[in-house]
Chains A and B, each alone.
Chain A
Amino acid sequence: MVHLSSALLRRYHGGLVIIRLALGGCTNRPFYRIVAAFNKRARDSKYIEQLGTYDPLPNIYNEKLVSFNYDRIKYWIGCGAHTTKPVAKLLGLAGFFPLHPMTVTAAERLRKLAAQKEQEASGSGTEEGQGKEEQRQEA
């Protein structure tokens, strides 16, 4: 078995650097580190550099804490790194990237759902109201 050193491995694979979320934490308590790593590496294994953190559970002030090392993120993007969707969405919410189109789409879908539910509620409400009136008229 030929064991290549890591530099040769990268060259052989044509490795890509990705900025992604690496999961940590405990059971029922996730915690993500925003990390620049090679594409083929396991999600939580050796990364090149940690660029920030993301805590998905809100704290006592109802805040979700996210930290970014903008300086190093700019460097890695300059080196040709790509971001994954969740990282791109977070950066869009932060104002560093423009807003991700899926964030906008998800917001629109939510609003459509909410509008539909309202219509159903008001529609069923009027039907019930009409039904009760008829019952009273009959009785």
Chain B
Amino acid sequence: MRICGGDDDIATVQFSDEKVQDILIRITGMDLQKIFRPVKEELKPPTYKLMTDQQLGEARQKAIEEAKLKLKMPPVLPERKPINDILSQDKFLAGMETAKYVFTDITFQTPHRERFVVVREPDGTLRKASWEERERMIQVYFPKPGRKLTPSPIFQEGNLKVVYQQDRHEDLLDLCIAQFEPDSSEYHKVHRLAYEDIDKRAKYELLRSSRHFGSLVWHLVMVRRVDGLLVDMLQRELINEAVSLVTLFHMVHPRSESAKEAGRLEAKGVELLKVYASTESQRGGYIELALQAHQQMLQENAL
């Protein structure tokens, strides 16, 4: 993830910190209707159950537990560095073969990250396999369901645009998680393009109650383009979540102007939003208008 501003230290706050995860889980929301919407499966006749109110409450609790499992966020890891390890160079073997030999270790208990995958080139060098070769070999000998040997053509640039036009970002990101490792460059590229498209067309609602929302928010905070999301939250009257978003922003960029202002004024709640609107954001006017409209509505409701 590239950041333009050089005066903030981002390395201190990671995606996997507890506070960050709490904020992201709160912002993701839990729309049960959307999470458990009908997935295309075999047609089964619906089952009806007769329940008391108490049983209904318990069933709802169970649904919430299951929803929490479904909303588990995939990890955000830095991009992996290419493997360039040569184990031995035997020049006198050159010319013996025309094809490479790829040796994979199929011990069942070793984790895939620690597996030995080694290539003997036709010119005699014995080297560790690159990440792509590793993934291909591990998929051959230990196939993972949902993953293909060659990635499906949906991940090519032209086809991605078609998917975005059809508003199927969530399905695309689910496919991407199944196909690629979280620290590979293709995974990062697909996610970045999807998030940028959503940000450009302000379609945050598509990912709102899904497991990708946390990574979307993290990406926007790292690239400092939180304004669209803030505006969207204010339009949907999600003030608490907007406040958590701004606190997250201050946690990740502690030396930005708005963070310093907020620290000085010790602002809490709606005042944080006003501080952010006045200092850091590009659409500050819109945010302030939305805040005023919200406060007027509160007063009207109180009356």
Contacts and interface: CB of A to CB of B under 8 A. Distances in A.
**Are A and B associated in one complex?**
yes
Given A69-B107, A70-B105, A95-B87, A62 B99 contact: yes
A112 B211 CA distance: 63
Contact of B104 (A67, A103, A114): A67
A67 B139 CA distance: 13
Interface string A65-103: 111111110000000000000000010011100010001
Interface residues of A, number: 27
Contacts of A93: 101, 103, 120, 126
Interface stretch (B89-97, B159-167, B197-205): B89-97
Given A63-B101, A69-B105, A93-B101, A107 B118 contact: no
Contacts, number: 77
A61 B129 CA distance: 13
Contacts of B140: 65
A110 interface: yes
A112 B187 CA distance: 49
B255 interface: no
A94 B96 contact: no
B92 A68 contact: no
Contacts of B141: 67
A114 B99 contact: no
B116 A107 contact: no
B90 A52 contact: no
A61 to B, nearest CB: 8
Nearest to A94: B103
Q: What range describes how many residues of B lie at the interface?
A: 20 to 34
A70 B116 contact: yes
Contacts of B96: 103, 106-107, 110
B137 interface: yes
B93 A107 contact: yes
Interface in B135-159: 136-137, 140-141
A77 to B, nearest CB: 15
A58 interface: yes
Contacts of B100: 62-64
B102 interface: yes
Given A58-B99, A67-B104, A95 B118 contact: yes
Contacts of B126: 93, 95
B101 A71 contact: no
A94 B96 CA distance: 15
Nearest to B117: A67
Contacts of A68: 103-106
Contacts of B94: 107
Contacts of A133: none
B52 interface: no
B102 A65 contact: yes
B84 interface: no
Given A63-B101, A107-B93, A71 B107 contact: yes
A42 B139 CA distance: 32
B101 to A, nearest CB: 5
A92 to B, nearest CB: 10
A111 interface: yes
A37 to B, nearest CB: 18
B55 interface: no
B88 interface: yes
A110 B93 CA distance: 10
A63 B126 CA distance: 14
Given A65-B140, A66-B104, A103-B93, A94 B99 contact: no
In the complex, the 5 A-B pairs of residues with the closest C-beta atoms, listed nearest first:
A58-B99, A94-B103, A71-B107, A67-B104, A67-B106
24 contacts: A58-B98, A58-B99, A61-B136, A63-B99, A64-B100, A65-B102, A65-B140, A66-B104, A67-B105, A67-B106, A67-B141, A68-B103, A68-B104, A70-B105, A71-B107, A90-B101, A94-B118, A95-B103, A99-B93, A104-B92, A104-B93, A107-B92, A111-B95, A114-B95
